[in-house]
Amino acid sequence: MTVYDFKVKAQDGSEVSLSEYKGKVLLIVNTATGCGFTPQYDDLQDIYTAHRKEGFEILDFPCNQFGGQAPGDDEEIHSFCTGRYGITFPQFSKIDVNGENAAPLYNRLTENTSFEGFGKGPKALAMNAVLKAVDKNYKSDSSIKWNFTKFLIDREGNIIGRYEPTENMKNVAAKIEEALK
């Protein structure tokens, strides 16, 4: 089973088969409009602009599960993202990425990757503190920990990388470039 076997909802509620993206390198990301990581939209758009013609797509899934940081309906979220950050990559309907209502795609992504930590630096320390206060055992499972967790998918639909929101976007860009070769 690959990501191509899943269907997701577009912003308008219509069903989209991820098989439409066969042969492309994908970056799947859960996002939020009111998060400390929201400025990553600028980096994501820059990467998308630089590599779209090489067969690269970003699939954006707004999610309100982390601190209620994606309020509003799909249209409001999309309007914010296009107006403030000028995004042009596909943005889908808001979803859950964890729990009993998690989108099947995200169940697949988390079942086949592991949480490797937030790395080092001030953002990593802050994320560790926030999550430790909520769940002392947060490091022990592969669930999504916060907004802007990214999954890199190769041209065959296989997961080749997971990047936490604290990952330097230059590193993510470099991994995308490797996958596009």
- Domain at 89, CATH number: 3.40.30.10
Residue 135 is predicted with a pLDDT of 86
User: Annotated catalytic residue: which of 16, 28, 29, 35?
Assistant: 35
Helix (H) or strand (E) holding 48: helix 40-51
Domain that holds residue 78: 3-180
Residue 134 is predicted with a pLDDT of 85
Q: How far is CA 25 from CA 48, 58, 105, 151, in A?
A: 11, 9, 16, 11
Q: How many domains does the chain have?
A: 1
Q: Which residues of the chain have pLDDT under 70?
A: none
Write out pLDDT tens, residues 114-142.
999 999 899 999 999 999 998 888 999 99
Task: Check if the beta carbon of residue 29 is closer than 8 Å to that of residue 148.
Answer: yes
Nearest to 30 by CA among 92, 82, 74: 92
Active site residue 35: yes
